Structure 1
Amino acid sequence: MGRIAKDGRGPSANLTASPVGLPLRDVLEASTLTGARVLAGEGGLDRVVQRLNVMEVPDILPWVKPHELLLTTGYPLQHSTIALLDLVRELDERGLAALAVKLHRYLDELPAEVLAEADRRNFPIIEVAESVGFDDILNEVLSALLHRQASVLARSDEVHRALVSVVLEGGGLDDLAAELTRILGGPVIVTTPDGRVNARAGDVEDLQKTGCFDPTGRFRVDDEPTGVRPHDGGFHTTVPIVAGRIDHGRIVAFSDTPLDAADVYSLERAATVAALAVTKQLAIDAVEGKYRADFLRDLLTGRVEDVPAAVAHARTLGWDVERPLVAVVAELDPVTTPVGAAPELRPVQERFATAWQSVVRWRDPRAPVVNFNQEVVVLLGLPSGGGGADAVERAVGELVRQVVGDGGGGRRSFSLGISRPASAPHELPRAYEQARKAVRIGRRLHGDGARASFDRLGVHRLLSLIPDTSELRGFVEEVLGELAADTPENADLRRTLAVLLETNCTVAEAARRLHFHYNTLRYRITKLEKLVGPFTDDAALRLDLALALRVLEIRGL
């Protein structure tokens, strides 16, 4: 593969692809520039020349453009040294490729201070032979530039046709990655917007050592802007996959040397073709996903009458639901949408479901993973070797770690619930309902991002099984009396009561936890007993009070 032209101003953490043009060192090989001498800025000879211009007036700055080779007879340079220093700085900061000067007619030499500044900036200043006409230089170099641009476009069109052919023949992202690897000669990956690898080709075994991936294998899109960037042992080039203003991911090509302009341009054309493949696959997945989700929803809600037939049908979908399973329900946490902003629920939910499908596929390819609009449901096989609830929670925790990755990239927090094991298919509806309850209760108890197992909910699990909220509310009001009213003062007193119950009415320990003076807590206990009764002496009343507080905690009554 070709090499990218280096920016003469020094190394950069984020190299951009060189524009279509010729490196200055190649331009100097033109026959019309035979005998040209580099007076200063030799470190910038890899700067790219895209166009030429002639300067014969002092106020040339408004007309210069980046990547331009500026030719002059020296007439406009008959100024003070300070003015020439300012001109060199301005030309360099505007991204010019170089300044070519004919000396001895208007100017015999350039001041040493100007040449030193050009050397410091790696801004090339070239002396052109006095006998050569600017029109000859313009004709020859412009012809070479046009030929170069035509070659790049021709190669890009060839690559584009090859990639489009892959898609039209039914190929997917893996086939596109393989074709790009053949064209570019290095490993290629295709990722989701948050960096999950959807497709890969080439020698990808050592890519983890590049530092471009987090420990879960996700490409660090948050730290990897588009363009060419160096890594240990080579370079990688990232281009976005965008269709209809929607970010569909990235194509990343790895190489020993930076891709040149033609390769980067080809990669950008490949991203357009990849967008076509992604949108096509999304359309197929949407139809198949709805069919799969409808089938699994019927199974999990008990609407399937012939369970053995449903099990057999699940097998045709690649799912094994006859083994012991746990239901895992993951819900995105709610966010506040600004007034007037259109909520982007479906794309976010779809990406969330895709993340779970991608992660679970590697651990348990026979596990159903479906998107139920507001939740993602996974029926996960029990870990081999047993281990009970702890082993299940560790396995699910590892999946969560991979879904979350290193964060960033617009990824939303989510809450998750885990059911008890279901040993047979007919137990799956109960497991699904347990997981849903675990999500709701966990979020109520711990806020957004909660992870809750149904088996570890304790008394909260029993309270959640009572469907009659009016009965629960009546119990709360009967036990707490005036303390049940929703006021700041009552909330403060309920907090004091809860800590007293947790410490078995040990006043010293409760005062320490609440950061109260001992006598202040004694006063509060007296006030509480006037409201709810002598709970410090009545164990049954303490139980009722604890249950009432838990009901308020879960149900928000």
Structure 2
Amino acid sequence: MNERATILTVDDLVSVSSFGLSSLAGGDGLTREVLWAHSCELRSPEQWLGPHELLMTVGHCVPHDDEGQKDLIAHLDRAGLAGIVIGDHETAPEVSDAMKTEADTRGFPLLLAASRIPFAVIARHVAAASSSDRVQQVLTLSKVYQIATSAADGATLVEELATLLNVGLSVVDCLTGLDVLTSRGAADSTVSRRERRFPLSGDHRAELLVREHPNEPIDGFLLIHLRKVLETAADRVTVTADHRTELSERAYRDLRSVTDPSEVTPLLQGHTPDRGYRILAFPETERRKIGRAAAVLDLPVLLGSEELLAFMYVPVAEIDRVRSMAEDFGLPMGASSTFEDVRDLRPAAHEAQRALETLRFSGQLWAEFDSRPVSVLARSEREMAAIVDSVLGELGDPSPSSTKLRTTLFAYLRNDRKWQETAFELGIHRQSLSYRLQRIQAVLGLSLSSSADIASLWIAYQAWEASGR
């Protein structure tokens, strides 16, 4: 036995001659600690056993091909198992050289058990040797549930559990990728720790990230209960976030029909409309994710939707935080100008929609509404010049590239936006015309499918012609 009587190693089991165990490979790992020995014949046994546990099998869970056997050793080692015992039984496949080489490379004990030895004998021996450890384990488990029932909130719960188990803990919401629960030490990069990830099977998809000291992993017994406790806590946080999103959507609908916003100010954390707000537009398919993320990040915003677009009411003071969140998600957003009267919600939403439309051609993620008032009739040379400059921008420059795009745009407008006629007039292929039109939209920040933008461009074209440029 190991000189530390409370710690049983793989080598201790091999040294018991009555067990008939022999080492096939992975001899460098014979000093691995064994806390439990368990028989398993299911595929992917690493899902059912945990750190420092010895897998015993008659071969049903061992693949027959070389690559599969090699992968099995790799999966068991990554899961922190103590080793694998394969019974000398007719059901067991032949152990390949690839499997032995992988075990040697990883220092993962690969043992052969004599056919006359029942696995239960080995399991009872391990249980007896580690009984004191089991007592400590049960006490720790009791403390886990004591914390779970007494913690005031999710933040306190995860912090106290992390302290008890001497690990960093984070629960990541799979919809948003955000931490809904995290301990202070979870992101501590000054300490060398191993990271392990486990799916949580609550009502909402989430993942548990455990950062452990390399030689102090949480064993499988405690890990099962830890996951259950955190599944419940994570569901509670997510349900609260989704409920807040529902309240914000109801408040947004109310704002469109009432003039007194006092009922929704708690959600806005004191940011009343008269202090300035903007409306953001983004794809409706992202509304659920953005709503949950905004609630998790405690952003004082309201959400709404209309057909294929979602809208967000954002106090001016919070615009930078919301923009940062959107960019982290790679989400395109169009922003209205600033309004101070709640009755302007609809025109603000229209501005945001217009701004979002320009992003289809720019390749960017954020667009501000650019108001360009254009007179139907210009009364002077100065007004015509102002119209051309404000609408065409750099397309009014005399450079060859600007001239080519401007000529293409004017031909497109003259031909009532008919591709065939425009391409024929310019003497170019339709693909070349398509490329130029995309470049025009990107440079101008306008959409050639928008009636309002086409109207502005047509008037600018008329002003260009009338000014004799």
TM-score by length of 1: 0.50
Q: What is the alpha-carbon distance in structure 2 between the residues aligned to residue 297 and residue 63 of structure 1?
A: 52
Q: What is the alpha-carbon distance in structure 2 between the residues aligned to residue 522 and residue 87 of structure 1?
A: 68
Cα RMSD between the aligned structures?
Answer: 5.6
| Alignment pair present for 1:42 and 2:13 | no
| Alignment pair present for 1:97 and 2:84 | yes
| Alignment pair present for 1:399 and 2:298 | no
| Alignment pair present for 1:441 and 2:368 | no
Q: How does 1:359-378 map to 2 (within 5 A)?
A: 359=297, 361=299, 368-373=300-305, 375-378=310-313
Aligned with 1:243: secondary structure?
coil
Aligned with 2:315: secondary structure?
strand
Aligned with 2:338: secondary structure?
coil
Q: 1:507 to 1:275 in 2, by over 3 A?
A: closer
Higher relative contact order (CA 8 A, sep 6+): 1
Of 182-191 and 143-152, deviating more is: 143-152
| Alignment pair present for 1:418 and 2:373 | no
Shift of 1:30: 5.6
Q: What is the alpha-carbon distance in structure 1 between the residues aligned to residue 393 and residue 14 of structure 2?
A: 87
The code of the aligned residue for 1:401 comes to S
Q: Which residue of 1 aligns with 2:79?
A: none
* Count of matched residue pairs: 367
Q: Which residue of 2 aligns with 1:365?
A: none
Q: Which residue of 1 aligns with 2:149?
A: 165
Q: 1:134 to 1:174 in 2, by over 3 A?
A: same
- Deviations along 1:66-119, one digit per CA (max 9) or x if unpaired, are 864579xxxxxxxxxxxxxx9999866654714689xxxxxxxxxx99988974
The code of the aligned residue for 1:437 comes to H
Residue number among 423, 445, 453 corresponding to 2:368 in the alignment: 453
Residue number among 177, 185, 188 corresponding to 1:195 in the alignment: 177
Q: What is the alpha-carbon distance in structure 1 between the residues aligned to residue 179 and residue 371 of structure 2?
A: 36
Aligned with 1:420: secondary structure?
coil
Q: 1:511 to 1:50 in 2, by over 3 A?
A: same
The code of the aligned residue for 1:457 comes to S
Q: What is the alpha-carbon distance in structure 1 between the residues aligned to residue 333 and residue 288 of structure 2?
A: 16
Q: What is the alpha-carbon distance in structure 2 between the residues aligned to residue 114 and residue 377 of structure 1?
A: 56
Q: Which residue of 2 aligns with 1:109?
A: none
Q: 1:442 to 1:28 in 2, by over 3 A?
A: same
Q: 1:64 to 1:29 in 2, by over 3 A?
A: farther
Q: What is the alpha-carbon distance in structure 1 between the residues aligned to residue 311 and residue 44 of structure 2?
A: 56
Aligned with 1:199: secondary structure?
strand
Of 234-243 and 395-404, deviating more is: 395-404
Residue number among 299, 314, 330 corresponding to 1:379 in the alignment: 314
Q: Which residue of 2 aligns with 1:353?
A: 291
Q: What is the alpha-carbon distance in structure 2 between the residues aligned to residue 501 and residue 113 of structure 1?
A: 66
Q: Which residue of 2 aligns with 1:80?
A: none
Shift of 1:142: 1.9
Q: What is the alpha-carbon distance in structure 2 between the residues aligned to residue 354 and residue 113 of structure 1?
A: 48
TM-score by length of 2: 0.57
Q: Which residue of 1 aligns with 2:465?
A: none
The code of the aligned residue for 1:379 comes to V
Q: What is the alpha-carbon distance in structure 1 between the residues aligned to residue 185 and residue 230 of structure 2?
A: 21
Aligned with 1:277: secondary structure?
helix
Shift of 1:352: 0.9
Q: 1:97 to 1:23 in 2, by over 3 A?
A: farther
Aligned with 2:333: secondary structure?
strand
Q: What is the alpha-carbon distance in structure 2 between the residues aligned to residue 64 and residue 240 of structure 1?
A: 15
Q: What is the alpha-carbon distance in structure 1 between the residues aligned to residue 197 and residue 15 of structure 2?
A: 32
Q: Which residue of 1 aligns with 2:343?
A: 429
User: Gaps spanning 5+ residues in structure 1: where?
Assistant: 1-21, 54-60, 72-85, 102-111, 211-231, 335-344, 362-367, 383-394, 408-412, 464-471, 476-497, 532-546
Aligned with 2:276: secondary structure?
strand
Instruction: Give me the identity figure in percent.
Output: 13
Q: In 2, are the aligned partners of 1:156 and 1:269 still within 8 Å (CA)?
A: no
Q: 1:126 to 1:330 in 2, by over 3 A?
A: same
Q: Which residue of 1 aligns with 2:269?
A: 319
Aligned with 2:258: secondary structure?
coil
Q: 1:502 to 1:241 in 2, by over 3 A?
A: same
Residue number among 233, 236, 243 corresponding to 2:202 in the alignment: 243
The code of the aligned residue for 2:396 comes to T
Q: In 1, are the aligned partners of 2:277 and 2:316 still within 8 Å (CA)?
A: no
Shift of 1:548: 13
Q: In 2, are the aligned partners of 1:324 and 1:381 still within 8 Å (CA)?
A: no
